[in-house]
């Protein structure tokens, strides 16, 4: 085996919002990827509209830059735990990682998860302590915490002697020590070239590549992305799709692409060590090997993490069905979900007894809500059920459920309410420490179902000052029944248009999700009740007109602004007897059974 001295393959791994994509911006600016007069968006790799709106990376991206004659292939990975399935696979493509840690927050759950995977694969780590410009940042303390984390994860002596830098990606500065003067990004790039090993390569034997990511194009079909393990590939070559069980299918290469800056570039040939994209092989899947048809050897694969949450996606059958979306049939929904499964491998779609309903399973609420949001933007109408956790059965017949490791940073005055609420949701506290600036860090293990619906409550309890992050821990014995939503719903008993006069007279019943002049139907949830039971009410009631006048009778009605729910908030709010109706223009909550009399009968039957 020889090495390709002019190539470096690295992945940037970190917890959500620690500055990975901003660091890529800083590297690109320094290496001249952008023209001097070019208008560049912040976080250039976050190209998906939802990534820009949410401020997080959802899909891993490939990019490349040239520095001092070396091509540096950079893979930007998602930091949110729900997309951890992407990170595990990406690490198979690279020879080293940039582990990015916030100089204030320190190592967080996702940092531990991805670092453990990187160390298991013997990848060379470079630690980048970022955001040193943050108030109350303590980079030196965070460096010690990272060292402790390496020791806790069982790193060997070579890995413990990791190179590190202090940076502010936003300001484009880097330095080897906090006492040094500010320097530019050349320090980091020099470290990448000198510390990250060049990829081993063998161009003599037949072509081999492990498929780590999939993309799809309406023009090119399925696109397989991975790193060439050995051999060379050209358009027209015959390749086989191989697993440990043997050859699954064969095809010929239509196009070969490498990555240049932020674009895919078509090339005539690619060799070992390159990260490439291949189109033309339809039967590939993540974890399979593409190999020369005359030498179909499989590479060691990897396990894709199993889904932990599922939801039912159904055809929208509300009274407003088909009025706002253009894709409303079960055939269209099925086609779209099957297309998603091609590239989103942590997702699972199953048919159910009903032809109009599909069970969609994913890694978490955010993972599934990103798909729902994408579909509604594409013109789909859907009804979504409450998220359910996916349980397993142990060998001895014990029911196991997914458990999450939760890290919470919260101001000291709110930690009591957080501990109480977490305890009610069957959480076990594992660690507690005091941070700078009057903050407390709490660590818990909690059933995944205990987190459904908690995020909204947490934000309210901590006045928006708390930070909650979680990551899948393992499967543990079922912890029993959890408390359901403590409040009932305000349900419309009429079809029509909401009226300010009616809402004003009903404000003492609860918090409304709608304002005046909104179309409603019977069975639609229009607010949250102050009581623990549902209240059916008429929000369409108008003022009776008489020929009598009195002073003050015609004063303007003053309403409390409605609490407009986002998609995630609506999914967290609903109970088992409710659905979220999603259309391109609206997000509504409704009862599964719209008629109030039938609902009452069903509730009675369920109790009996």
Give 546's pLDDT tier (boundaries 50, 70, 90).
low
Q: Which of 23-37, 182-196, 309-323, 541-555 has the highest mean pLDDT?
A: 309-323
Residue in the block written with tokens 């965070």: 142
- In this model, does residue 52 exceed pLDDT 50? no
Higher pLDDT, 533 or 557: 533
Residue in the block written with tokens 């390749």: 239
- In this model, does residue 498 exceed pLDDT 50? yes
Residue 211: name the closest of 222, 224, 223, 220 by CA.
224
- In this model, does residue 571 exceed pLDDT 70? yes
Question: DSSP for 339-364?
Answer: HHHHH-TT-EEEE-SSTTEEEEEESS
Determine the pLDDT at residue 524.
Answer: 92
- In this model, does residue 98 exceed pLDDT 80? yes
For residues 169 and 151, what is the distance between their CA atoms, to the nearest angstrom? 27
For residues 83 and 20, what is the distance between their CA atoms, to the nearest angstrom? 15
- In this model, does residue 469 exceed pLDDT 80? no
Determine the pLDDT at residue 16.
Answer: 63
Determine the pLDDT at residue 551.
Answer: 53
Give 37's pLDDT tier (boundaries 50, 70, 90).
very low
Residue in the block written with tokens 């470079």: 126
- In this model, does residue 555 exceed pLDDT 80? no
Give 24's pLDDT tier (boundaries 50, 70, 90).
confident
With contact defined as beta carbons under 8 Å apart, do 560 and 494 qualify?
no
What are the pLDDT digits (tens) for 285-305? 777 788 887 887 777 777 666
Determine the pLDDT at residue 553.
Answer: 54
For residues 14 and 78, what is the distance between their CA atoms, to the nearest angstrom? 8
Determine the pLDDT at residue 383.
Answer: 92
With contact defined as beta carbons under 8 Å apart, do 363 and 305 qualify?
yes
Determine the pLDDT at residue 109.
Answer: 67
What are the pLDDT digits (tens) for 245-285? 777 778 888 888 888 777 788 888 888 888 888 888 877 77
Pairing of β 399-411 and β 392-393? antiparallel
What are the pLDDT digits (tens) for 503-527? 888 888 889 999 888 899 999 999 9
What are the pLDDT digits (tens) for 328-374? 888 999 988 988 887 777 788 888 888 889 999 887 777 788 888 88
What are the pLDDT digits (tens) for 153-209? 887 788 788 888 888 878 878 888 888 777 778 888 888 888 888 877 666 678 888
Least reliable range by pLDDT among 293-297, 301-305, 418-422, 583-587: 301-305
The alpha carbon torsion through 250, 253, 254, 258 (nearest 10 deg) reads 140
Give 475's pLDDT tier (boundaries 50, 70, 90).
confident
Residue 86: name the closest of 241, 288, 304, 300 by CA.
304
Q: Which residues pair with 260 in a beta bridge?
A: 263
Residues 530-546: what's their mean pLDDT? 84
Determine the pLDDT at residue 51.
Answer: 46
CA 95 vs CA 98, 195, 227, 301: distances in Å: 11, 10, 11, 17
Strand boundaries in 169-280, DSSP class E: 173-175, 200-201, 208-217, 221-230, 232-233, 238-243, 246-252, 255-260, 263-267, 270-271, 275-279
Determine the pLDDT at residue 542.
Answer: 84
Give 12's pLDDT tier (boundaries 50, 70, 90).
confident
What are the pLDDT digits (tens) for 109-128? 667 777 777 788 788 888 88
Characterize 159-168 residue by residue with b for buried, 16 or more Cβ atoms within 10 angstroms of its Cβ, and e for exposed. beebebbbbb
Determine the pLDDT at residue 47.
Answer: 45
For residues 432 and 156, what is the distance between their CA atoms, to the nearest angstrom? 28
């Amino acid at each position: 085996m020889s090495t390709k001295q002019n190539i470096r393959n690295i992945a940037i791994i970190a917890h959500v919002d620690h500055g990975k994509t901003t660091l890529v911006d800083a590297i690109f600016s320094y290496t001249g990827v952008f023209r001097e007069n070019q208008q560049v968006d912040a976080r250039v790799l976050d190209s998906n509209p939802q990534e820009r709106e949410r401020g997080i990376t959802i899909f891993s991206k490939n990019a490349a830059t040239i520095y001092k004659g070396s091509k540096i292939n950079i893979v930007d990975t998602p930091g949110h735990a729900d997309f951890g399935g992407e990170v595990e696979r990406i690490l198979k493509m690279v020879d080293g990682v940039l582990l990015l840690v916030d100089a204030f927050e320190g190592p967080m759950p996702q940092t531990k998860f991805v670092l453990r995977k990187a160390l298991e694969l013997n990848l060379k780590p470079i630690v980048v302590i970022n955001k040193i410009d943050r108030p109350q940042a303590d980079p030196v303390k965070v460096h010690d915490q990272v060292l402790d984390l390496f020791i806790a994860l069982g790193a060997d002596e070579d890995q413990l002697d990791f190179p590190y830098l202090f940076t502010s990606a936003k300001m484009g500065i880097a330095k080897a020590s906090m006492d040094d003067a500010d320097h530019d990004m050349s320090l980091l790039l020099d470290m990448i070239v000198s510390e990250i090993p060049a990829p081993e390569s063998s161009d003599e034997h037949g072509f081999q590549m492990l498929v780590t990511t999939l993309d799809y194009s309406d023009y090119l079909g399925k696109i397989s992305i991975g790193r060439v393990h050995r051999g060379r590939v050209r358009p027209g070559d015959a390749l086989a799709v191989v697993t440990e069980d043997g050859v699954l299918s064969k095809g010929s290469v239509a196009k070969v692409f490498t990555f240049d800056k932020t674009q895919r570039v078509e090339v005539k040939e690619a060799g070992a060590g390159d990260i490439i994209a291949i189109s033309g092989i339809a039967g590939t899947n993540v974890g399979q090997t593409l190999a020369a048809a005359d030498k179909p050897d499989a590479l060691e694969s990897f396990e894709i993490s199993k889904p932990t949450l599922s939801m039912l996606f159904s055809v929208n059958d509300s009274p407003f069905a088909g009025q706002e979306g253009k894709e409303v049939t079960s055939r269209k929904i099925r086609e779209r979900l099957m297309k998603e499964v091609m590239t989103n491998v942590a997702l699972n779609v199953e048919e159910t007894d009903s032809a109009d309903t599909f069970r969609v399973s994913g890694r978490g609420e955010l993972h599934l809500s990103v798909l729902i949001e994408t579909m509604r933007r594409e013109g789909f109408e859907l009804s979504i059920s409450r998220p359910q956790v996916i349980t397993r059965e142990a060998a001895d017949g014990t029911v196991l459920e997914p458990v999450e490791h939760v890290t919470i940073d919260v101001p000291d005055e709110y930690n009591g309410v957080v501990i109480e609420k977490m305890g009610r949701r069957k959480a076990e506290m594992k660690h507690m420490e005091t941070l700078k600036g009057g903050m407390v860090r709490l660590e818990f293990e909690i059933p995944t179902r205990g987190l459904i619906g908690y995020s909204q409550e947490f934000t309210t309890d901590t006045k928006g000052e708390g930070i909650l992050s979680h990551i899948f821990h393992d499967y543990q014995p079922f912890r029993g029944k959890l408390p359901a939503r403590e409040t009932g719903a305000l349900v419309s008993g009429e079809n029509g248009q909401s009226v300010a006069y009616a809402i004003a007279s009903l404000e003492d019943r609860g918090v409304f999700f709608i304002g005046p002049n909104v179309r409603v139907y019977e069975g639609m949830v229009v607010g949250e009740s102050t009581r623990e039971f549902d209240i059916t009410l008429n929000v369409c009631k108008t003022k009776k007109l008489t020929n009598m006048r009195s002073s003050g009778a015609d004063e303007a009605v003053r309403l409390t602004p409605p609490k407009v729910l986002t998609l995630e908030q609506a999914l967290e709010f609903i109970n088992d007897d409710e659905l979220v109706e999603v259309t391109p223009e609206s997000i509504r909550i409704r009862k599964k059974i719209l008629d109030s009399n039938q609902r009452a009968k069903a509730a009675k039957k369920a109790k009996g």
